[in-house]
Amino acid sequence: MILVEIGNTSVKAVRDEAGKRKPLFKVSTKNIDELRRQLSLLLDNETILLSSVRKDLTAVIREYTGRLTLHVIRYDLLGNIRLDYETPETLGIDRVLACAGAVHKTKTDVIVVDAGTACTVDFMTNDYSFKGGVILPGLPMLRHAMKTLTPELPEVSPGLPDHFPGRSTHDAIKIGLNGGFIHAISRFVEQYKGRFNNSEVLITGGDGPFVQEKLEGNFGSSYFDNLVFDGMLAWKELNQIDN
């Protein structure tokens, strides 16, 4: 079975065989020709589970349904995963699946931080009811905004200096951008913990390791490489999808 996640900036695919995952490809969302090439290399009659936040690229995947079995996981096809959310039609399915993957692992209420292009901090109960959350700019968006709107300032990478306050413009930006990002996430997690004290904190996404490094000591959080893929398999199991 092949798991495909279409995000804001990339399309990632892995082959899952008895719980072991083999990376297949990672393609920029801007490179549709390469996406089509990769899809053409897949074997006939393979099964794809698809999570997508891009309708245009979902249409590209659908071009191959003549020889591939495709399950597009949509908000209205979640089955035993429930939404307690006022606007499900605008809800990124990756947010729900990341939470479902977290509940599947922990069997508890979960707070899931997905630190990607955008960052989400979401909550799901242990009976797979998605309760909503927070969307804020991720580090790539923040860095892009700084570079675009303040081009004379130096660019910075993830991380924090070992002193406070910043004694150079570079360090001041690092503390403000990267530190501010961590402070925002920490505050949101604290708000959740104030209401749902027994929930576990799980972190995923491209900048997840940085967030995990800064949050683990405060919240006992755990990092997982791709909770969206875990959520796809949880959806399959919960709804008894055979192929």
Task: Examine the domain organization and report whether 108 and 227 are in the same domain.
Answer: yes
Task: Examine the domain organization and report whether 38 and 111 are in the same domain.
Answer: no
Domain boundary among 46, 72, 98: 72
Domain boundary among 50, 72, 94: 72
CB 160 within 8 A of CB 175: yes
Task: Examine the domain organization and report whether 52 and 67 are in the same domain.
Answer: yes
Angle (deg, nearest 10), helices 32-40 and 55-62: 30
Task: Examine the domain organization and report whether 92 and 45 are in the same domain.
Answer: no
Answer whether residue 19 shows pLDDT above 80. Answer: no
Show Cβ contacts of residue 120 under 8 Å, excluding neighbours closer than 6 positions: 92, 95, 98, 112, 113, 114, 133, 134, 135, 136
Task: Examine the domain organization and report whether 39 and 107 are in the same domain.
Answer: no
Q: Which of 24-38, 56-70, 82-96 has the lowest mean pLDDT?
A: 56-70
The pTM of this model reads: 0.92
Task: Examine the domain organization and report whether 243 and 184 are in the same domain.
Answer: yes
Mean pLDDT of 9-27: 92
Report how many domains make up the chain: 2
What confidence score (pLDDT) does residue 130 get?
Answer: 98
What confidence score (pLDDT) does residue 66 get?
Answer: 84
Mean pLDDT of 24-36: 95
User: What percent of the chain shows pLDDT beyond 70?
Assistant: 100
Residues marked active site are found at 94
The domain that holds 25 is classified in CATH as: 3.30.420.40
> pLDDT digits over 147-158, tens only?
999 999 999 988
Mean pLDDT of 168-190: 96
Task: Examine the domain organization and report whether 82 and 181 are in the same domain.
Answer: yes
What confidence score (pLDDT) does residue 243 get?
Answer: 67
Task: Examine the domain organization and report whether 184 and 141 are in the same domain.
Answer: yes
Answer whether residue 172 shows pLDDT above 90. Answer: yes
Answer whether residue 179 shows pLDDT above 70. Answer: yes
118, containing H or E segment: strand 118-124
Task: Examine the domain organization and report whether 127 and 174 are in the same domain.
Answer: yes
Cα separation, 86 vs 139, whole angstroms: 28
Q: How far is CA 60 from CA 35, 36, 73, in A?
A: 8, 7, 15
Domain boundary among 26, 50, 72: 72
| Boundaries of domain holding 201 | 77-243
Can you say whether the dihedral through the CA atoms of 95, 100, 105, 106 is positive or negative?
positive
Cα separation, 99 vs 27, whole angstroms: 24
